[in-house]
Chain A
Amino acid sequence: MVEEESVRVVRCGGSELNFRRAVFSADSKYIFCVSGDFVKVHSTATEECVHILQGHRNLVTGIQLNPNNHLQLYSCSFDGTVKLWDYVDGILIKTFVVGLKLHALFTLPSAEDSVFVIINKEKPDVFQLVSVKLPKSSSQEIEAKELSFVLDYINQSPKCIAFGNEGEYVAAVRDFYLSVYFFKKKTTSRFTLSSSRNKKHAKNNFTCVACHPKEDCIATGHKDGKIRLWRNFDDDKKYTYTCLHWHHDMVMDLAFSVTGTSLLSGGRESVLVEWRDATEKNKEFLPRLGATIEHISVSPAGDLFCTSHSDNKIIVIHRNLEASAVIQGLVKDSNIFTGLMVDPRTKALVLNGKPGHLQFYSLQHDKQLYNLDIIQQEYINDYGLIQIELTKAAFGCYGNWLATVEQRQEKETELELQMKLWMYNKKTQGFVLNTKVNMPHEDHITALCFCNAEKFENPTLVTSSKDGHFKVWILTDDSDIYKKAVGWTCDFVGSYHKYQATNCCFSEDGSLLAVSFEEIVTIWDSETWELKCTFCQRAGKIRHLCFGRLTCSKYLLGATENGILCCWNLLSCALFVFKPSEPRPLYIQKNISREEVQWGVFVPRDVPESFTSEAYQWLNRSQFYFLTKSQSLLTFSTKSPEEKLTPTSKQLLAEESLPTTPFYFILGKHREQQDEKINEAFESELVQLPLTENIPAISELLHTPAHVLPSASFLCSKFVSSLLLSKETKSGEEIPEDVDMEEGKESDDSDEENDFTEKIQDTNNTDLGEDLLHQLSKSEEKELRKFRKVDYSWITVL
């Protein structure tokens, strides 16, 4: 199945869901959100991603429902096209090529054949709102160059444009003024607030605008937290405004409910405020939404709201202000201090999540599993506040222990450090805080490392710090006659000539500990904590340190600050120095992404692939994921993105079409499992499955009342034969193989166990040469067996 294909970069998560306002479908069943180059369609009830609409070649900047057909969706992108989608089936209907960078998209029911877009034509900072006439044509790709100018010098954000009262006027805000363009009169009125020169109104800037759906009323949000409601703005002189003030920081977005009776606002406080009847007294709150509210949108049916948050999540909220669903992407924290890790238990990617949390992100399903609250303190989202940062984390002992370090530094000398050790609780399937260590070191902790060797029955943790010490922590029995408890205590403190300890690493068997002190690497015996030897080099300070695995366990690798890789042979104490580009790297891919790559991690595969070409062998057992500066998660893959996504979306389609009966719950589950097993090659069989249920004999059996049926023994043979009829030819050939399959399965299992250990080791060793070739034939063999197994798994279901 796997042909030799070129390896390419595949985006697999982490793109922003909160870039633009989310849009509800007309029946509030689906919610659409932009996500990088794609548009994602989620179900509002289950939070599940139903479709990914892909086709744009650059960032999608706006989505709107087609006002003339509620089952269609317009989207615009930086690539200069407006696309029309059928979101129910996830099909691209039409592409309109505008040819300019489109920054936002608006539709109006009154303007049937045109949409409004924001473009910048001449200067980079001058944006215009133009209406684009979408020509009617049957072809797939249509040029739409007929632009008519509406408003000039506007803000590029779609939050600063609003169409009001069924498209009679459009309001736009920028800096200190509000401009309103009336379509009928074709005039623009402009209202200016007292500007920044006046100190009292220093933060009077407009930030967002919303228009009342029924009345002539415009709501504007301001930087100082005020909301102004404008009326009578069709007259330049007689206009009035009233002020609503609750937010203490910038108002990020405003939205009117469908009927216009209430106004929703949100900001940095992460509180959704509902103003009833546009009065200051009558307001409701939904507090602690977790992060800054970036956008608010309202479903056309009026029963749901949704808020997009800066931590890359969308919360679907009921009319009565109760959160009903959370669509969470990869949380974007400002800084990924912890780097990328893999949870040995769930194989999930682990990194900084919400403030003070660690997020577990499943790569297989491209969704967040859960957030682990590490800091456990009320999060105050306020500008300029120094927060406690989760700086380091490490998993140990096959996922049984998790060590985290948090710090807060207000001034140079005032450092608050805390180390926490979490134990995995099998009963609750989560991590439970075991030990809290205040100020484990006197300065920043630079590295954490667990000893993962099997022979160590006692878990061991090493921390290295800038204060020049490294400490060894061990798990000790803390129980007395009153209770049973275990806790971590410091066992040993080591240092080397008052140099800063920068890195630490245990060897594979746990017998040696390497600690780097700036430019020097020291090797310690982990039994006695004696200094065994030191390695010095001139290449610069050590940035990373790592022992080899498996056959290479005698080597110690160190990466220095000026881009040199050092390798020590621990048996002969010899040093090899090489630059990463010099001795023929295994694989180089250039131009992988637009931004700088910040972190990378190898993730072991569940099912090893079998690339035969030498260049891709490193992809066999593990996959390399990396995170760019804008925090989108990318990986290398040979499969095309469509292929990757098919199983889940197909399955969902099937689910949609089936009625929800108790049988469905039983059968549907079954089919789900089956789906995963079946490859694309056997899709035809899958489609046939429902047909078997329509065999007349079965329906007869099921629909006739029991008391009029003949005896079961009489029916049985008839019933069975009716089942056999359609499949006769196939089952005949395949039954002899049955025994074989059983055996295959067994050996498969044992193989996988072996592979598992090797897979992990592989993550660091890409040059295992011969070893791999030998196993390759094995895995190929297994692949073949799997085909056979798949072949008739559907029979067993019947």
Chain B
Amino acid sequence: MAGYKPVAIQTYPVLGEKITQDTLYWNNYKTPVQIKEFGAVSKVDFSPQPPYNYAVTASSRIHIYGRYSQEPIKTFSRFKDTAYCATFRQDGRLLVAGSEDGGVQLFDITGRAPLRHFEGHTKAVHTVDFTADKYHVVSGADDYTVKLWDIPNSKEILTFKEHSDYVRCGCASKLNPDLFVTGSYDHTLKMFDARTNKSVISVEHGQPVESVLLFPSGGLLVSAGGRYVKIWDVLKGGQLLVSLKNHHKTVTCLYLSSSGQRLLSGSLDRKVKIYSTTSYKVVHSFDYAASILSLALAHEDETIVVGMTNGILSVKHRKSEAKKDSLPRRRRPAYRTFIKGKNYMKQRDDILINRPSKKHLELYDRDLKNFRVSKALDRVLEPSCTIKTPEITVSIIKELNRRGVLANALAGRDEKEISRVLNFLIRNLSQPRFAPVLINAAEIIIDIYLPVIGQSPVVDKKFLLLQGLVEKEIDYQRELLETLGMMDMLFATMTRKESTSVWQHASDGFLENKKVES
């Protein structure tokens, strides 16, 4: 006939964040290292080549840090005014940066003085990038122009004057040397082709564009501006794919994780959100101390570097894969014991009968199956169970109550055992989800042990503690009821047409307990 049905353990909604693969992955970083810069950190860029140094643009300096160094290994400080957007070339040898005075400077990372100086912009250059062929530089400036420079000749090749406001962000395609995208404060994103002299795609973002990003495939374009992050399909001629509104303030920076599966966005609301690039849902988010201006991930997501408005650079390193020292394992039976009969091929006339799989029962279930109720209760009152999984303990108490044997299971305990039960009650009695079951258990305990009270100072102390807890809880409830009354009065004065009622939160479970205690 039907087998033993194990006790149904009540599951409660997990408080706080849900644990998913993503939370595990993104929480697996060490505590951040904080580096103070001279001003707001406007750009962080990782070198694409090992050893993956990163360039930090803050105020009029560009610092280059090694991956684990807290001091800059190199500094470029020959800027008259604020520097912007220090970016590595694909081979990691050259670095380009714009500046407030309208100049674009090219550095060799081993040298100190600029190799090239591109003059042509009349106002601050906020965005620069290398094209895919490594020999050209794209720059966008506050004079509304976008220029393409040739590195060998240090000459201007093309100028696009299609934007009608500051050009603040840009990005070159990693596949096609002629394509690049710029975003501007005129709310548009434009994709330019160096082979023609005008934009090929122009899309309306709706807000001043703060950051743009091209997917490695070049098929999707991500733009951030205002509170929105928008994804555009380039292959469909710039059709809007998704519009994400997950930040409370302007989104300032975007970054793709190394696998391309996750998109990160940093915002002035001091949060970094991580989206899945398949469903475009937020899978995780980080909090930071100040508004975020720049964001970058190292190769293989090993490091997250975030630059903030207060000049702090936060560097988080991934925890190294903890090498679990394998415990000397119990000697198992030989491999062939497990494989025995597993590779037997069924013959034509054979009927295969599998061995009925044995149902695994928890220890407390085994006790309950054999009606050893006190033993089952003892098992779930072990500290390992009560602290980690109090819901199991509560479920067993509930089950014992259902079977009508709770009093039997609680009776006949010595000082140590009863104080264990009382400890559990003190810890969990005030939790609303456990309260109905535990109040009942507390009543039974008081009934059973009332005659022997005063014989053990330890247990007496616990009882007093429990009493204090209950009294405090009653006070809370009273206050809550008063508040509720006030709110009801307020609601009643509001004229409302529909007669939907207000939720009532009063749980009067605790009021009964007062009777028991007194």
Contacts and interface: CB of A to CB of B under 8 A. Distances in A.
Interface in B396-411: 399, 401-404
A384 B404 contact: yes
B406 to A, nearest CB: 11
Nearest to A323: B1
Nearest to A270: B1
A531 B499 contact: yes
A377 B5 contact: yes
B440 interface: yes
A531 B498 contact: yes
A530 B20 CA distance: 40
B254 to A, nearest CB: 20
Given A413-B512, A481-B283, A493-B501, A408 B1 contact: no
Contacts of A388: 402
Interface string B10-24: 100000000011000
Nearest to A497: B499
Nearest to B5: A378
Interface in B427-478: 436, 440
Nearest to B436: A414
B8 interface: yes
Contacts of A492: 500
B402 A408 contact: yes
A288 B3 contact: yes
Contacts of A746: none
B404 A382 contact: yes
Nearest to B497: A530
Chain B contact patch, size range: 20 to 34
B370 to A, nearest CB: 11
A408 B8 CA distance: 15
Nearest to A442: B504
Interface string A368-380: 0000000011101
A290 B501 CA distance: 45
B500 A494 contact: yes
A775 B499 CA distance: 46
Nearest to B399: A377
A196 to B, nearest CB: 25
A386 B283 CA distance: 46
Nearest to A483: B20
A495 B502 CA distance: 10
Contacts of B369: 378
B279 interface: yes
A481 B4 CA distance: 36
Interface string A440-483: 00000000000000000000000000000100000000001110
B494 interface: no
Contact of A482 (B3, B21, B402): B21
A305 to B, nearest CB: 14
Contacts of A438: 10
Interface string B285-311: 000000000000000000000000000
A531 B20 CA distance: 42
Interface in B470-518: 498-501, 503, 512
Given A408-B402, A481-B279, A482-B20, A377 B1 contact: no
A385 interface: yes
A493 B403 contact: no
A506 B89 CA distance: 68
B500 A414 contact: no
Contact of A480 (B281, B403, B498, B499): B281
Given A290-B2, A493-B503, A481 B402 contact: no
Contacts of A382: 403-404
B278 interface: yes
Given A408-B402, A414-B436, A482-B21, A496 B4 contact: no
Contacts of A653: none
A493 B500 CA distance: 7
A259 B8 CA distance: 44
Q: Interface SS of chain A: helix, strand, loop or mixed?
A: loop
A482 B276 CA distance: 11
Given A414-B436, A493-B500, A494-B500, A377 B2 contact: no
Contact of B440 (A377, A414, A469, A494): A414
B418 interface: no
B17 to A, nearest CB: 13
A727 to B, nearest CB: 41
B501 A481 contact: no
A481 B499 contact: no
B240 interface: no
A438 B8 CA distance: 13
A301 interface: no
Nearest to A469: B501
Contacts of B94: none
A385 B276 contact: no
Interface string A482-501: 10000000001111110000
Contacts of A493: 500-501, 503
A380 B403 contact: yes
A378 B4 contact: yes
Interface in B352-397: 368-369
Given A388-B402, A493-B501, A481 B8 contact: no
Given A289-B1, A384-B404, A413-B512, A495 B281 contact: no
A414 B401 CA distance: 12
A480 B404 CA distance: 42
A111 B339 CA distance: 66
Contacts of A410: 401
Contacts of A386: 402, 404
B514 to A, nearest CB: 13
A413 B510 CA distance: 12
Given A481-B276, A494-B500, A376 B5 contact: yes
A541 to B, nearest CB: 21
Interface in B15-74: 20-21
Nearest to B1: A288
B7 interface: yes
A197 to B, nearest CB: 29
Interface in B192-238: none
A416 B436 CA distance: 9
A549 to B, nearest CB: 30
Interface in A500-546: 529-531
Contact of B403 (A323, A385, A530): A385
A495 B10 CA distance: 30
B253 to A, nearest CB: 23
| Most chain A beta-carbon neighbours within 10 Å: one of B5, B20, B503, B512 | B5
Interface string A312-354: 0001000000010000000000000000000000000000000
Interface in A383-435: 384-386, 388, 408, 410, 413-414, 416
Given A377-B7, A377-B8, A414-B440, A288 B276 contact: no
Nearest to A272: B1
A494 B498 CA distance: 10
A384 B278 CA distance: 58
Given A288-B1, A414-B436, A385 B501 contact: no
State the 4 A-B residue pairs at the shortest beta-carbon distance, nearest first: A495-B501, A378-B5, A481-B279, A288-B1
5 contacts: A315-B1, A377-B8, A378-B6, A386-B404, A408-B402
Given A378-B369, A494-B501, 7 more contacts: A288-B1, A377-B402, A385-B402, A410-B401, A495-B499, A497-B499, A530-B498
